[in-house]
Amino acid sequence: MKQDDINRIYSIAKTSYNKAKEALELAHGMFYFREDSAISDVIPGYKANQLKFGSYTKDNFAVLFVDMRGSTRRAISVGEEQTFLTMHIYIPALLEVIKLYHGNVIDIMGDGLMVFFGGSKQDDNIMTKDVAIKNAAYCSLGMMTIKEKVINRILNEEKMKWPDISIGIGVTYGDVIVTKIGINDVYDVKAFGDCVNKASKYSGGDNKIHVSNTIRDKWPKGKDGTLKFIKSRSDDGYYVNYEGAV
């Protein structure tokens, strides 16, 4: 990742933190988490008003899950105010990385994010399988870079009680079933598939990138070829030895 991108994301995350801190000071003791609008209609090429309940379409995506590890213990330790402020650093920083690599945020689940790359019904340029995997791969490395050089940097600068967070990332590729689910006035477009479940499971390591065999085989080759993969002992995936690559 270029230093200019790191500096830009740092500035965005720090601004988000400062705004959250100002809001917290104005409404001390009264703040609460609020989601003004749910994420919906974000699966590229699939709109709720064009789908029927019960119908489905099969497509292929590279799927990335990222999760803050130990977040429950951290929240108990640091308290609600520092948790609130941390999220206003963490989420904007990761969203900027996703945008940089043309990912589509499908869901934000607390401190976890699900991201799709590719698909056959994109509005703009079609992202081929190889490009989707390449973008997901670079996005995972970019997240690890930003975690250290932006998120943890700001947490340390602001002297947070628990200044260093860890994240886990899972990346897979495969068939996804897209369907409209719900009732007439409450519904969403959702994606299901083995690759989605695996990516979520793979995100369970501390500061680890865990990928499927397909992602390993198609992972973009570095200039020096030093990136290595370590076979997981608990499943059919691989861990990325990214030291020196971020």
Query: Per-residue confidence of the chain (246 residues) as pLDDT tens digits?
Result: 899 999 999 999 999 999 988 887 665 544 343 333 334 566 777 777 778 888 888 889 999 999 999 999 999 999 999 999 999 999 999 999 999 999 999 888 889 999 999 887 665 556 789 999 999 999 999 999 999 999 999 999 999 988 899 999 999 999 999 888 887 777 888 889 999 999 999 999 999 999 999 999 999 876 555 678 999 998 989 999 877 555
**Token couple for 69:** 């590890």
Residue 110: per-residue pLDDT: 87
- Bridge partner list, 191: 178
* Cα four-point dihedral sign 123, 214, 193, 205: negative
Contact 81, 221 (CB under 8 A): no
Residue 96: per-residue pLDDT: 96
C-alpha distances in angstroms, 228 versus 92, 172, 220, 221, 223? 30, 17, 12, 10, 13
Residue 193 CB coordination number (10 Å): 19
**Token couple for 108:** 């934000």
Residue 226: per-residue pLDDT: 64
Judged by DSSP in three states, 38 sits in coil
